[in-house]
Amino acid sequence: GPLKALKERFLEPPSPQKQSTARFVRAFRTRLREANALAREHLRGVQDKMKFGFDRHAEKRVFSPGDSVLVLNPATAHGLSAKFEGPYFVEKKLSDTSYVLTT
């Protein structure tokens, strides 16, 4: 696959002729840029796949100003901590997923 090709390209044996340090550095930078581009391309595909899987089971929720909501607290210290805080009230909708809340 692409990772095997990248590994072979990165670890190809040095040429038998001596090359200058500057030439080596230029070639190495080129290989690093290629590796970075390949990694970003792979990451983009994996992120899209994960988003598709999450969105398949996600439930879209829409709130209006005045609605009472609970807020998820992901930084709970231990299992007995409250996972949600609130209630808060929706003051304004900023986007499909962002709201201004008041206590």
In tens, the pLDDT along 53-63 reads: 999 999 888 99
Mean pLDDT confidence for 95-103:
92
Q: Is residue 98 part of a domain?
A: yes
**Residue 63 domain-assigned (yes or no):** no
The number of distinct structural domains making up the chain is: 2
Phi, then psi, of 15 in degrees rounded to 5: -70, 150
Rounded to an integer, the average pLDDT of 21-31 is 92
pLDDT score recorded for residue 82: 76
Same domain as 83, residue 48: no
Same domain, 50 and 24: yes
Q: Kindly state whether residues 36 and 6 are assigned to the same domain.
A: yes
Shared-domain flag, residues 49 and 10: yes
Residue 37 in any domain: the answer is yes
Tell me the whole-structure pTM to 2 decimals.
Answer: 0.48
**Residue type present at position 93:** K
Q: Which domain holds residue 82?
A: 68-102
Local structure of 94: helix, strand or coil: coil
Higher pLDDT, 46 or 83: 46
Residue 62 lies in a domain: no
Is 51 in the same domain as 27?
yes
Q: Do 51 and 73 lie in a common domain?
A: no
> Is position 33 within any domain?
yes
Q: What is the mean pLDDT of the chain?
A: 87
Q: Which residues of 28-59 are buried (b: 16+ CB within 10 A; e: fewer)?
A: eeeeeeeeeeeeeeeeeeeeeeeeeeeeeeee
Q: Is the pLDDT of residue 87 over 80?
A: yes
